[in-house]
Amino acid sequence: MVPHGVRLSLGGADPVEPARVAHLADCAVLTGAPLVSEHIAFVRAGGTEAGHLLPVPRTWDAIEAIVDNVRRTQAELPVPLALEPIAALFDWPDAELTEAEFLIEILDRTDAQLLLDVANVYANARNRGTDPVALLDQLPLERVAYVHVAGGSERDDGLYHDTHRHAVPVEVLELVRELCMRRRPPALLLERDGAYPPAPELAAELDAIADAAGVERITA
Amino acid sequence: MSREQLARRQAALIAALHGTGPVPDGFDERLVRAAADALARKRAGAVAMHWPQLRHEFGPKWTDEFRRWAVGRVGHGALRDGWDFARTYVDRLGEGARLELAEREVVWRYDGVRPPRRRWAPALRRVGRTVLVQIGGRVLRLGRARV
């Protein structure tokens, strides 16, 4: 069990709230978790909750803020922290680094692990017309703690939304295969937040992920 | 961009996503609007989980009705968003949703501005032929509820 995503707002301009960090640390102890994970995102600013994981600008100043928050968090945690890059429909203007450079800089300076969400990689690439596999080739795959896999769908706005409420598309499974051909992560996890399908459908989805990853099925 | 600038720009982005401010300079307006819409949908889903009767009442129109209401309002979490929404439309609500609302009204004191606080005193609400009484934090339903 891995406590995940407690709205730390690591990408926020403000320092992380100590109570939230303490809560995450308590969760890690209570569940005997080997690690915890949080998003590289901000979720509040100026006292207002966004209600959503929002992207941070890929700038050196933003890196400073994130690294500071990650270090503050790590100092209170009894276990390692893995960071997850999010899916975002838009980017901040005036990026100073590429996505990969930005992530590597944060990971290097904090010694955090990477929680790689292949569905996020897919969604970002598809909505920007870039190559998701190219990003895999640029990321430090040896630092991947585990992998998220999720479904989504294209809405009338022509954008692919990482909903966690739809089936995992074949393109995401293909990305699982591409990733595992390069380096197989310690574990993969299917994210589903609602509109749950019947058990056989869910089992088939887990099998498809295991098959794509080249690991043993867990549903038998 | 200094830390203060970053804070200001993040706040401005949240305002744009909540429909309470313009899309900040340099951002792709179409994409930010799409994200704002996705956020409103997500809020509708979260409110539906906290307020199942309310959601049930609107049937397939729920997401659109809630989105229409939510745009331009700062979110305060699913509990309060649903509460504010239910109060706005209380006259349109059927008995199930009104009971759901009344049950919360007798347990919590909520002024629509600050977070709800638990009532220490007994409270009473009437919904149709049902009377809800809260004493010592317990809610009693008197009369017949036709849900």
In chain B, where are the structural domains located?
3-93
Structure-block tokens of residue A83: 């960071």
Interface pTM (ipTM) of the complex? Answer: 0.95
A64 contacts on B by Cβ (under 8 Å):
3
CB count within 10 Å of CB A44 equals 18
Q: Cα–Cα distance between B126 and B55 in angstroms, integer?
A: 21
Of B145, B6, B57, give the one whose Cα is nearest residue A11. Answer: B6
Residue A159 distance to chain B (closest CA, Å): 8
The maximal CA–CA distance of chain B, rounded, in angstroms, is 63
B75 contacts on A by Cβ (under 8 Å):
49-51
Of B13, B15, B75, B14, give the one whose Cα is nearest residue B47. Answer: B75
Residue A46 touches partner B, C-beta closer than 8 Å: yes
Model pLDDT for residues A57-114, shown as the tens digit of each residue: 999 999 999 999 999 999 999 999 999 999 999 999 999 999 999 999 999 999 999 9
Residue B130: strand pairing partners: B127
Give the DSSP H/E element, type plus range, for residue B8. helix B3-18
pLDDT for A204 equals 97
Of A111, A104, A113, give the one whose Cα is nearest residue A144. Answer: A113
Model pLDDT for residues A147-183, shown as the tens digit of each residue: 999 999 999 999 999 999 999 999 999 999 999 999 9
pLDDT for B2 equals 86
Q: Cα–Cα distance between A12 and A53 in angstroms, integer?
A: 11
Contact B24, B35 (CB under 8 A): no
Q: Domain A1-84+97-111, what fold?
A: TIM Barrel (3.20.20)
CB contact under 8 A, B34 and A157: yes
Torsion, Cα of B13, B17, B22, B28 (10° steps): 80
B 101-140 near A (Cβ less than 8 A):
none
Substitution target in B6, B39, B41, B64 with the highest count of A β-carbons within 10 Å is B6
In chain A, where are the structural domains located?
1-84+97-111, 117-220
Of A120, A146, A121, give the one whose Cα is nearest residue A135. Answer: A121
